[in-house]
Amino acid sequence: MIQANDDKRHQAQTDDMQWGESWYFNCYDPQNKVAMFTRMGLYPNKGVANMAVLIAVDGREVYNRGWHNLPLPDGDIDTGISLGGVTYTAIELLKSYQLDFADDLTPLSFDLKWEALMPPHNAMEGRELNQATSFHLEQAGKITGVLKLRDREWQINGVGNRDHSTGSRNWAAFTHHELAWPVFDDGTALGIIRIHFEGGESADLCWAYTDDTLLPLSLEEFTTTLNDEGRATSAKVIAVDDKGQRYDIDCIRQAICHWPFDGYVLNEGAFEFRLPDGRIGYGLLELGCRLGSP
């Protein structure tokens, strides 16, 4: 079982230069049509860190800050950790977090509170170690607060997921991956990741949270439709949980932001997710691809 201390900062468990630790939050507010993606990554063996804040409004990318090779920050998530203008602070570990950002030159700022809708889950639990990571805490939540961009202001009321990862992650070993993290209006949340590695192997990290129960989930299909720029316009995802519940999901693009990690590029998508029984959800649909791979 995940403990509160698991969400705090870790010492590197190896001298591997790829060992890293990251915290990530996303949000989509369907009423305001505002999407936010933010991440902080630490690489203690390299002595560097990176951060990103990506914002889209009305389906268009309006802000993109991704800074690499920053000095390692001081602090920890329980008392506040800051990098490149963004600060994450746990109000209560594993349950609620404060997210702050300020760029006075743009100007852009947000003051947001993330609150858990489910217990945290380690998607790597019980799985063999691979080049993706060794610990990947995932959790669905709701986000409220204020976002300001120049002369506009939004009262945010949306849903989103967070993750906290530790371990050796070799992005160069991935050819591509697909991810869907929908949060539905009845509280059902799904975590679906398929990672494709060099040599043709793949790993699925999938779960379903429904009726206050966390269940294993098996992915049957993840098909995306791409535009000429290689960004997803729609997707079809089919998965089945351990109780036999089938999730046949139509995924409809709301916004996408571009996010490079050197030779690996992420498309962070805010999507609407529709089930045949009428349930509607929102959340992340992420595609990643190694540059030079189809």
Could you tell me if residue 73 is inside a domain?
yes
| Residue among 213, 103, 114 at smallest CA distance from 164 | 114
Look up the domain containing 25 and give its range: 18-290
Total number of domains in the chain: 1
Could you tell me if residue 128 is inside a domain?
yes
Query: The pTM is what?
Result: 0.96
Q: What is the pLDDT at residue 10?
A: 96
Structural tokens at position 24 = 């990530």
Q: What is the pLDDT at residue 130?
A: 55
Q: What is the pLDDT at residue 182?
A: 98
Q: What is the pLDDT at residue 261?
A: 79
| Chain segment 104-122, per-residue pLDDT in tens | 999 999 999 999 999 999 9
Low-confidence ranges of the chain (pLDDT < 70): 126-133, 293-294
Could you tell me if residue 41 is inside a domain?
yes
What is the identity of the amino acid at 209?
Y
Could you tell me if residue 220 is inside a domain?
yes
Q: What is the pLDDT at residue 243?
A: 97
Could you tell me if residue 186 is inside a domain?
yes
Q: What is the pLDDT at residue 294?
A: 55
Could you tell me if residue 280 is inside a domain?
yes
Question: In 44-173, which ranges are E strands?
Answer: 48-57, 60-71, 81-83, 86-92, 96-103, 108-116, 121-122, 135-149, 152-168
| Chain segment 244-287, per-residue pLDDT in tens | 999 999 999 999 999 987 788 999 999 999 999 999 999 999 99
Could you tell me if residue 1 is inside a domain?
no
Structural tokens at position 270 = 């805010």
8 A C-beta contact, residue 22 and residue 49: no
Could you tell me if residue 2 is inside a domain?
no
Q: What is the pLDDT at residue 230?
A: 82
Q: What is the pLDDT at residue 198?
A: 83
Q: What is the CATH number of the domain that holds 106?
A: 2.40.370.10
Cα gap 141→8, rounded to integer Å = 19
Q: What is the pLDDT at residue 126?
A: 61
Report, in this order, helix, strand and coil percent for the chain, each rounded to 5.
Answer: 0, 65, 30
